[in-house]
Structure 1
C-alpha cells in the first residue's frame, strides 16, 4: 500500500511517519483543501484529488475542505502579486459548480465534505489575536514567494500573511492525520502541523504532489492563464487539448494523470528518449487513457475518431452546429464570426483572419468581406476546434 500512496509524490514529511501511521490499522483522516476560485475542475486539481481517492480505496477517510472562506482571502502561494479578492457570491457560485467535479473523481464513501466557513467565518478578535500570535513576521518572510516579493519591494498585505494560518486552522478543525497539496503548498501544510501541536493534536503528515504544467508547456495549469484541460471538457475537446501538449510533458502526464503502471511509464520514458516510440502515437495513447478515466472507453474511441476526422481527413465534426447566414451581400466576415460565437469580438476576428486561422471548407480566407454565395452551405472554421455550418 505504501508504494501505491507514494507514487507521484514530491515531498512527504516524513515517509517513516507515514508508514508508522498507516501501520496503526485505523482509518486515517486525509485532508485536501481546495479554494473554489474558478468554475472548472482541471487535470491539475485532479492530480491531488486522485491521490485522495487512492487513500479512500485503502479504507481511509477523505476529508475534502471546500475553502469558501479562504477563497475570499486568496492563497498567495506561488504568486508574485496580491490577488484580487473574490466576493462571497462569486465563491459560492464557483463552489456549486466544482463540487460535482470533485464527486466525479472521489468515491462517495468514506468521504466528509466540509466548508471552512463553518469555523472561520465566526472567529472573533480574541481568536484572531491568538491565531496570529502563533507565527512571527520573520518566519513568514522565510517563505520563498514572500521573500522574493519583499526583496523586490512588491506589496504584501497582512491578509496574505493570515492565509497560511487559516489553512492551518482547517487542519485543527478536522483533526487531519495527513494533508495533501501541490508542491507550492508545503509551507502552508507545515504551518498546519505547528497549529495542531499547539492545540494538543498529533501533527499531520504533509504530502505534496508536483504541479501539473499546462498545455502551454511553461506555466502550471491555470484557468486564469487558459492553459488548462477540464475534467468536464467534452471527450473530443479533451482529447484534442491533450494532443496539443508539448512532447516533453508526456511522461509527467502519464505519471500524474493516468492509471498506467509505473513500469509502463518507465518504458514510455525510455521509448521516447531512445526514439523507439513516436511522440504523436504516444500522445494518442495518453489522450485515450485520460478520456477513458472521465468518460469511459467508448467515448475515448469516439474522441480519437473525431480527432482524426478533423485533423487527418480535415472534415468538420459530425455534430457541427448550424448558423443562419445574414442577408447582406457581401458578408462582413468579422461580424459573422462574432455573431456565430466563434470569437469574442470583431477585433479578435480580424486578427485571426489576418493570421490565416479562419477557413471556409478547409481553405484559408484572408479578406474581411466575402460574397454571400461563397459562404452558403459551407463550414466556417476558426483555429482547430471551432466550427459552424452556414445555412440560409
Structure 2
C-alpha cells in the first residue's frame, strides 16, 4: 500500500480537529505505516442510545472517512454492550440504561446511516458485546485494578457531581473502562471522538499501555451546536437535523440556524464545498440568507440528491415565501360525521398528545384552508371536499371526513 506523504496526511488529519494526543506519536505512526505499507487501524465507537444519526455525528464520521481516503483501516464499534451501562459523558445525572435488545436494534440501523458518509466496503463493523459480554466477574475485577477512583474523579462531570453531592453510580465508573477495553481488544492505533469523549479516549490509551500495547493516538473533534444556536445538537433537545430527515425538513431546518453558525456548519459539514471558505464568507457578509440557502442545498444533496435539493428549495419558497400549500400533500380520510380538531391533530400524527394540540391552537399555529383556528373545541364537520390542515410551520395534511367512508 502506497500512502501520501506524512506531512500531507498530517495536514488533512489536523483539519477541523480540536486536539491530537499526541501529534509527535501520530507522526511516528504515519511514518512507520508508510515505510511498512501497513495501514493504521482507526477506531470510532458509537453507543446506539438512539436509532437516528444527526449532523453532529457526521463531524467525526467524516474524519473517519478522511482516514479511509488516506488508505487506513476504519473500524466502527457499535457499543451495544456499553449502551447498557450508559455513557456518563457531560451528564449531570445518571444516564438511563438500554436493554440488550433495544441497544442491538438501534445499532442495526446505525451502520446503514453511517454508510452515507463512510466507504461501506472498507469499513469493519464490530459489536463490543462480542468481547465485553464474555468477560467474567474475575476479568472485571482485574480490569478495575488498573484504574483508581482518584483518577476517575479527575473527569470533569464526575468531579462536578461529586462536589455538588449528586449521586455517581459505580457502574458509571465501569463505562470508560469498558470503552477502553475496546481499544485493548482491537489493538487500534488511533481513536476518534468528540471533545466530550476525551476522558474515555485517554482511558483507552492508558489501558493499552497497561496491557503492553502501543498506546493509541486520540483525535478529538468539535461538538456541533444545534439549530437553536445554544446547546450541542441532540435529537432529545429538538435541535437536530437527522440523516433520515426528508429533504424538505433538512432544507427548512438549515435555513433556521442563526447567522453565526453558518461558517461552522460550512466548515464542519461539507467534505467538498462548491466554493472556497473565503468566497463563501463574503456571501455571508453581503447576504447571509442567500448563504444559508446555498448551504442548505449542499447539505440536502449530501444525504439525498441534487434533484431533491432543488425540489426542497422550491417547496420552501412555495410554502414559506409565497405562503402557498405544498403541491403534494398526503390525504387522510376518516369515517365520521365530524371530529374534534384536537383529536384530529393527534390522529394525523401532527402532535403527540391532546395537550400539545391545544397548545398549538393557543399559539395560533393551526390553520384550516388558510384560516387560523383559535377555538379549542372546534369540530371539523362532514364534507365532500378535502380540507387542508396546517399544524405548525411545516406540517400539512389533506383531510376528508365522510360518514359513508369505507
Shorter-chain TM-score bucket reads over 0.9
Distance in 1, Cα, partners of 2:400 & 2:235 = 34
1:1-392 correspondence runs (5 A): 1-24=9-32, 25=34, 26-260=38-272, 264-269=276-281, 272=284, 275-276=285-286, 278-324=287-333, 327-328=336-337, 331-368=339-376, 369-370=378-379, 372=381, 376-392=385-401
* 1:338 CA displacement: 1.4
- Tell me the secondary structure at the aligned position of residue 153 of structure 1: coil
Listed one character per residue, the Cα deviations across residues 215-243 of structure 1 (whole Å, up to 9, x for unaligned) are: 22221111222221111111111111111
- Tell me the secondary structure at the aligned position of residue 236 of structure 2: coil
Q: Is the 8 A contact 2:341 2:380 kept in 1?
A: no
Paired residues in the alignment total 388
* 1:252 CA displacement: 1.1
Distance 1:295 1:371, change over 3 A: closer
Q: Is the 8 A contact 1:65 1:115 kept in 2?
A: yes
Q: Is the 8 A contact 2:62 2:271 kept in 1?
A: no
Q: TM-score, normalised by structure 2?
A: 0.91
Q: Which runs of 5+ in 2 are unaligned?
A: 1-8, 402-406
Distance 1:107 1:191, change over 3 A: same
Q: TM-score, normalised by structure 1?
A: 0.94
* 1:31 CA displacement: 0.2
Distance in 2, Cα, partners of 1:251 & 1:374 = 50
CA RMSD, 1 decimal: 1.9
Q: Which runs of 5+ in 1 are unaligned?
A: none
* 1:260 CA displacement: 4.5
